[in-house]
Chain A
Amino acid sequence: MKRIYVNEKWCLGCHLCEYYCAFANSGQDDMAKALKDVVIHPRIQIEEQDNISFAVNCRHCEEPLCVKGCISGALSVRDGLILIDADKCVSCYTCVLSCPYGAIMPSAEGAIQKCELCVKNGRGQPACVEGCPNMAIVFEER
């Protein structure tokens, strides 16, 4: 299965991946409208310190502790892809406590949110990968 991989050597710390993620999941078709004067809640997030930076999002683990620990059955695995059913989530945050990468977070709406590789928002390709200007984020089989 194709997954997102990050190479911190190439990360410029530009945060474009965060904006592309927020736009892709905003439900709007105009990037300026979707993001202007908006506090974004991207599912991919940059860590940076001194001259190191890198993006972190769901790793779609083979042993997904978030799914196994989910108290409501809101998280599930389909063909290796870890999906969240926001209607079933009760925001207990057991998944936040379980994810070793810190890649699941509360959303602005209340339920948790996580990277779903843009399969639900009609993009086809992960928007962060397309938007990364330096190929620090790639989508491939490894």
Chain B
Amino acid sequence: MHYVIIGNSTAAIGCVEGIRQADSRGRVTLITDEPWHTYSRPLISYLLQGKVDEERMKYRPDDFYRQNGCTVMLGRVAEAIDPAAKKVRLKGGQTVSYDKLLVATGSRPFTPPMEGLDSVPAKFSFMSLADAQALAAALAPGDKRVFIVGAGLIGLKCAEGLSGRVKSLTVVDLAPRILPSILDEEGSAMVREHIAAQGVDFHLGQSVARFEGNKATLTGGAEVEFDLLVLAVGVRPNTELVREAGGQAGRGVIVSARGETSLPDVYSAGDCVESWDITTGESRVLAVLPNAYRQGECAGLNMAGADKEITDAFPLNAIGFFGLHMVTAGSYAGEEYTRRGGGNYKRLVYENDRLKGFILIGSIERAGIYTALIRKQTPLSSIDFELIKEKPQLMAFSRQERARQLGGRV
């Protein structure tokens, strides 16, 4: 049996670990266009900050591939899948045959057309180790003015990573508020104030009208002069390999709960696929790391003959900016319970006797107890919801449920 994985990040590593739970002997080959040992992508902002180095960014120990009997083809680009011949064609013409294939190609930066963008001499994305290295190299001697387009997770983590190493940081976003994918209006305002207090200059509700070299004119009329431009507007799933081979793809690759694409023996997982979000009842690209790992592992198990499904996906984000932590989960349409004060913000959203989502900013202790209510779709009428609203606690469950959780195998 030859398992081939296109990718070398979270979903790919999850797949290796899934395969090895069910099959210790089959050959595993990973193909990656990057030249590195597997590393954690979200740590690139910590690398800029100097909180980690490239050694500490490794997602798995140095002996991971050897321990798991993997061959890794670094710096190789997969160009096409031939599902009939069960072959992957690499750039340069070489082919790799597979019995089972995982496509874990992730996503890439997406930049809408902007007038004069070509005239900007120094522009960067912020998704890969190579991006972070290029940006870090351009920072010296440390008096650079940085302009970031996009106030989402990527743009703001980049701003945090650069803070203290540059002369100024300016962020523009078309949305009227920051982090719209994970925060509501009130939470967003709270986090914006905190980040702005660190010297980040926000221009929200507007976009770049045009670039002229090192100057951007915003739609609101303001002019921003900068040395380095970071484009963090959005990402697009890398669906081409599957789509061009005849596989189904919408915004992301379409997969079953077992991780199968519509092509025989071809699986897909991670940021390139759509998942069924149990909190919205929609298929959408979730692009969060815990989900990517579990999908990859699930696909790996199934590739190796097990029978596993993931039917409890929803968005989950834990992130911090300049010492302010926040955790969010699910979706935010429904009845709500809100608490604020002491630098903390909490919003729980529920509907039809189920918790649908939450936002916790500042105090995040034991948030996973809320997450589990969403994941297990626990009827709120079966627990002491008034008690658990106050703070996450197992006291809100029945004595029998607690006996199962704390006295049984879980």
Contacts and interface: CB of A to CB of B under 8 A. Distances in A.
Interface of A: 3, 5-8, 47-49, 52, 54-56, 59, 61-62, 65-66, 68-69, 71-73, 87-88, 90-102, 104-105, 142
B369 interface: yes
B393 A102 contact: yes
Contact of B14 (A59, A68, A92, A95): A68
A94 B316 contact: yes
Contacts of B112: none
A72 B40 contact: yes
Contacts of B387: 49
B394 A47 contact: yes
Contacts of B408: 5, 142
Interface stretch (B72-80, B202-210, B250-258, B286-294): B286-294
Contacts of B392: 102
Contacts of B368: 65-66, 95-102, 104
A91 B322 CA distance: 12
B148 interface: no
Nearest to A141: B409
B407 A7 contact: yes
Contact of B290 (A54, A94, A100, A142): A94
B369 A100 contact: yes
Interface string B33-47: 000000010110010
Contacts of B409: 3, 62, 142
B395 A97 contact: no
B72 to A, nearest CB: 16
Chain B contact-residue range equals 35 or more
Contacts of B393: 47, 102
Contacts of B232: none
B325 interface: yes
B402 interface: yes
B329 A97 contact: yes
B182 to A, nearest CB: 12
Contact of A47 (B293, B319, B372, B395): B395
A90 to B, nearest CB: 5
A141 to B, nearest CB: 10
Nearest to B372: A100
B51 interface: yes
A96 to B, nearest CB: 6
Contacts of A65: 290, 368
Contact of A71 (B14, B43, B56): B43
A113 B191 CA distance: 26
Given A96-B365, A97-B367, A97-B371, A71 B327 contact: no
Given A72-B40, A73-B59, A87-B56, A105 B365 contact: yes
A96 B61 CA distance: 23
Interface string B47-65: 0000110001111110000
B197 interface: no
Interface of B: 14, 40, 42-43, 46, 51-52, 56-61, 289-290, 293-294, 297, 316-320, 325, 327, 329, 364-369, 371-372, 375, 387, 392-395, 399, 402-403, 405-410
Nearest to B393: A47
A73 B60 CA distance: 6
Contacts of A98: 290, 316, 368, 371
Q: Which of B61, B366, B369 has the most CB of A within 10 A?
A: B366
A52 B329 CA distance: 30
A40 B407 CA distance: 25
Given A93-B320, A93-B325, A102 B366 contact: yes
Contacts of A47: 393-395
B367 A71 contact: no
Contacts of B290: 65, 68-69, 94, 98
B394 A102 contact: yes
Q: Which of A56, A69, A91, A142 has the most CB of B within 10 A?
A: A69
Nearest to A138: B407
Contact of B369 (A59, A68, A101): A101
B402 A100 contact: no
B60 to A, nearest CB: 6
A92 B316 contact: no
A92 B410 CA distance: 25
Contact of B406 (A6, A61, A88, A104): A6
A102 to B, nearest CB: 3
Nearest to B391: A102
Contacts of B60: 73
Nearest to A94: B318
27 contacts: A3-B409, A6-B406, A47-B393, A48-B395, A54-B402, A55-B406, A62-B410, A71-B40, A72-B57, A73-B40, A88-B56, A90-B43, A92-B42, A92-B318, A92-B320, A93-B327, A94-B316, A97-B316, A97-B364, A98-B371, A99-B368, A101-B406, A102-B365, A102-B366, A102-B369, A105-B365, A142-B409
A142 B406 CA distance: 12
